[in-house]
């Protein structure tokens, strides 16, 4: 149940349009709905202002479709991450408004989310190979109602590319930096700006990068203050965290 429906329900109860039993029936699936194979957190939108997101990796397509169907009973928009094209094809057969962001591996079903602020989240990638993780972050922040500026392939191997985009970095309110290899870009950006930086190490790189561990340790040891670090390849977590920061102080 989203906040709008809850407010409407409470208003109807206050005005005597429904009785307590009817209200209790409407709320019976709070705080979660047990589907057997999954327990859907129907209360999360009320607690956090954003509904539960479906993590598709490891789930059967039938399970994902079932969770989507349940969510759409109460939510305007449903988001599924780490989704394959096969999952999208199965969902789109039932919901023709489903949109697949292939690079981000994100499926969105339902209404487009309106922008909630004019402040911008900048999503920066060191290389083209980092774009899938960067896109996961960018799409996540957008779905939360944030304007997003994408600045891709501006890593430290050609630092002039980063410097050419410095005004866009300076004008952003929050910056997500996505980098593999040695992960140095987060330190450089963190040392340039007076904004919070969310660093995401990726598993991109040759053998000694240890599938993102080298970038993770580099970012954790960043000497520039104001840098928070996500887990390896966790674009969703970075986009969500940056989105929360960017929306602070925004009234619904």
pTM: 0.84
Let me know whether 171 and 219 are in one domain: yes
Let me know whether 242 and 129 are in one domain: yes
Let me know whether 59 and 147 are in one domain: no
Instruction: Answer for the pair 203, 180: CB distance below 8 angstroms, yes or no.
Output: yes
DSSP-H helix ranges across the chain? 3-14, 20-26, 44-48, 61-71, 85-92, 131-143, 159-164, 166-171, 185-190, 213-220, 235-246
pLDDT band per the 50, 70, 90 thresholds, residue 232: very high
Q: Which helix (H) or strand (E) holds 211?
A: none
Q: pLDDT digits over 131-168, tens only?
A: 999 999 999 999 999 999 999 999 888 899 999 999 99
Q: pLDDT digits over 187-197, tens only?
A: 999 999 999 99
In a domain, 231, yes or no: yes
Let me know whether 99 and 143 are in one domain: no
In a domain, 24, yes or no: no
Let me know whether 125 and 183 are in one domain: yes
In a domain, 147, yes or no: yes
- Per-residue pLDDT, 107: 94
Structurally, the chain folds into a number of domains equal to: 2
Q: 77, 110, 143: which is the final residue of a domain?
A: 110
pLDDT band per the 50, 70, 90 thresholds, residue 28: low
Q: What is the mean pLDDT of the chain?
A: 88
In a domain, 89, yes or no: yes
Q: 110, 137, 170: which is the final residue of a domain?
A: 110
Let me know whether 150 and 191 are in one domain: yes
pLDDT higher than threshold 90 for residue 29: no
- The CATH number covering residue 187 comes to 3.40.50.1970
Asked whether the bond before 169 is cis by omega within 30 degrees of 0, the reply is no
Let me know whether 104 and 166 are in one domain: no
Q: 62, 91, 110: which is the final residue of a domain?
A: 110
Let me know whether 236 and 125 are in one domain: yes
- Per-residue pLDDT, 153: 93
Q: pLDDT digits over 234-251, tens only?
A: 999 999 999 999 998 776
Domain holding 98, by residue range, is 29-110
Let me know whether 128 and 225 are in one domain: yes
- Asked which of 11-20, 21-30, 140-149 is least confident by mean pLDDT, the reply is 21-30
pLDDT band per the 50, 70, 90 thresholds, residue 16: confident
- Per-residue pLDDT, 1: 54
Let me know whether 106 and 125 are in one domain: no
- Per-residue pLDDT, 4: 67
In a domain, 75, yes or no: yes
Q: pLDDT digits over 85-121, tens only?
A: 999 999 998 888 899 999 999 999 987 788 989 999 9
Q: For 113, which DSSP code? A: P
- Per-residue pLDDT, 234: 96
Let me know whether 215 and 139 are in one domain: yes
- Per-residue pLDDT, 222: 92
Residue 4's SS3 state is helix
In a domain, 251, yes or no: no
Q: For 83, which DSSP code? A: -
In a domain, 230, yes or no: yes
Burial class from Cβ neighbours inside 10 Å (0-12, 13-18, 19+) for residue 45 reads buried
pLDDT band per the 50, 70, 90 thresholds, residue 252: low
Q: pLDDT digits over 30-80, tens only?
A: 677 667 888 877 777 777 777 788 999 999 999 999 998 888 877 778 899
- Per-residue pLDDT, 38: 80
Q: What sign results for the dihedral spanned by CA atoms 212, 181, 143, 105?
A: negative
Let me know whether 130 and 237 are in one domain: yes
Q: pLDDT digits over 197-223, tens only?
A: 999 999 998 999 999 999 999 999 999
In a domain, 13, yes or no: no
């Amino acid at each position: 149940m989203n906040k709008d429906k809850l407010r409407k329900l409470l208003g109807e109860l206050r005005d005597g349009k429904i009785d307590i039993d009817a209200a209790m029936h409407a709320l019976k699936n709070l705080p979660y709905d047990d589907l057997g194979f999954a327990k859907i957190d129907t209360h999360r939108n009320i607690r956090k202002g954003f509904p539960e997101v479906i993590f598709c990796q490891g789930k059967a397509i039938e399970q994902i479709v079932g969770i989507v169907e349940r969510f759409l009973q109460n939510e305007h928009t449903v988001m599924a991450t780490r989704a394959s094209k096969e999952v999208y094809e199965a969902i789109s057969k039932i919901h023709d408004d489903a949109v697949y962001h292939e690079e981000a591996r994100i499926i969105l079903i339902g209404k487009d989310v309106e922008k909630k602020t004019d402040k911008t989240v900048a999503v920066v990638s060191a290389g083209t190979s980092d774009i899938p993780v960067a896109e996961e972050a960018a799409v996540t922040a957008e779905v939360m109602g944030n304007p997003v500026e994408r600045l891709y392939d501006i890593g430290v191997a050609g630092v002039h590319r980063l410097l050419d985009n410095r005004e866009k970095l300076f004008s952003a309110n929050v910056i997500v930096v996505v980098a593999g290899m040695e992960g140095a870009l987060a330190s450089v950006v963190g040392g340039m700006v007076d904004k919070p930086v969310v660093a995401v190490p990726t598993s991109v790189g040759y053998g000694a990068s240890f599938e993102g561990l080298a970038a993770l340790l580099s970012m954790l040891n960043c000497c520039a203050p104001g840098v928070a670090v996500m887990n390896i390849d966790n674009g969703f977590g970075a986009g969500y965290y940056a989105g929360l920061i960017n929306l602070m102080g925004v009234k619904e």
